[in-house]
Amino acid sequence: MKKFISKIAVLITGLVFLVSCSNTEENKKLIIFHAGSLSVPMKEIAEAFEEENPGVEILMEAAGSRECAKKITDLNKECDVMVSADYVVINNLLIPDFSDWNIKFAGNEMTVVYRDQSKFSDEINDTNWFEILQREEVLYGRSDPNSDPCGYRAVLTMRLAEKFYKKENLAATLLAKDNNYMRPKETDLLGLLETGAIDYIFLYKSVAIQHKLKYIVLPDSINLKKEELTDWYATVSVDVTGKKPGEVITHTGEPMVYGITQVKNAPNPELAEKFIIFMLSEKGMAIIEKNGQPSLVPSTTETYDKIPEGLKGFAKGKK
């Protein structure tokens, strides 16, 4: 009888241990929402982090950055870390109710992407791209400005192009064309391009590099790349939907800057901070840069005082 009880005790102890391990594994899940344009580098960073942290499972959801934010604010979906293609999305939609701070970490630039089979691919260049996109037989795609920063940045690029090339009504003409090929995020357009359903896409340079696509390098005056052209970029703007129905947010043109934050009610806050440190450190940023985006770490942020001590080295306070 004693042996039987002893065996039962051992079995119970083993079950308790297994349950404990199971709970520990469950607690090591990290949920990350990120911009679609970051899908390739985020996958690489997640794999590298998991390799260094056995037992951690990273669950990632890619979407337009504004859509990512609305999953948190409107749908109350659990999330530990949000990585946005535009730091302003975090400021406008998450701070202060859903997040306290924002770290800027990488840049990018707008391009017009195509393939060899695209119509007029043999003649398109940085001086005539807007004329080719207006041709009736040419189809082009862009992402939805209300869902995705690439979408409203495409609009800003068109409006800057109108001024830069001195072409009256250029932006309005382009924006009125091919709206059937608008998608929630810019990476949703890649399949349409690859199958020949469309000829061109307004797309980030980093995504073009990652997918080995051809692209037009646009003039700095319209590609939203250069910090020194901030004042010029700010001469155009675009309105998108706000936090509440009927509310409008105006995005003024500015250089492209990506941002990252930790959500206030993160299910795994300590692991979230550990991941952010890994991503913003040398190894993580090397992956970002390899995939076509220049590092901006450390950059100034108006939320510096709210950043946790362990992350302040990746940002700078405003002077």
Digit-coded pLDDT (tens) for 139-166: 999 999 999 999 999 999 999 999 999 9
Q: 110-252 — its CATH code?
A: 3.40.190.10
pLDDT tens-digit readout, 63-73: 999 999 999 99
Which fold does the domain 28-107+259-317 belong to in CATH? Answer: D-Maltodextrin-Binding Protein; domain 2 (3.40.190)
| % of the chain beyond a pLDDT of 70 | 92
Q: Which residue has the higher pLDDT, 5 or 174?
A: 174
Q: Is 289 exposed, middle or buried (0-12, 13-18, 19+ CB in 10 A)?
A: middle
| % of the chain beyond a pLDDT of 90 | 88
Mean pLDDT value across residues 182-209: 95
**What is the predicted pLDDT for the residue at 319?**
72
Give the single-character DSSP code of 92.
I
Pairing relation of β-strands 257-262 and 29-35?
A: unpaired
**What is the predicted pLDDT for the residue at 4?**
46
Calpha distance 127→165 (Å, rounded): 8
Q: Please, where in the chain does CATH 3.40.190.10 lie?
A: 28-107+259-317, 110-252
pLDDT tens-digit readout, 37-55: 999 999 999 999 999 999 9
Provide the whole-model pTM.
0.88
pLDDT tens-digit readout, 248-265: 999 999 999 999 999 999
Q: Can you spell out the DSSP letters for 220-258?
A: HHHHS--GGGHHHHTT-EEEEE-SSTT-EEEEEP---EE
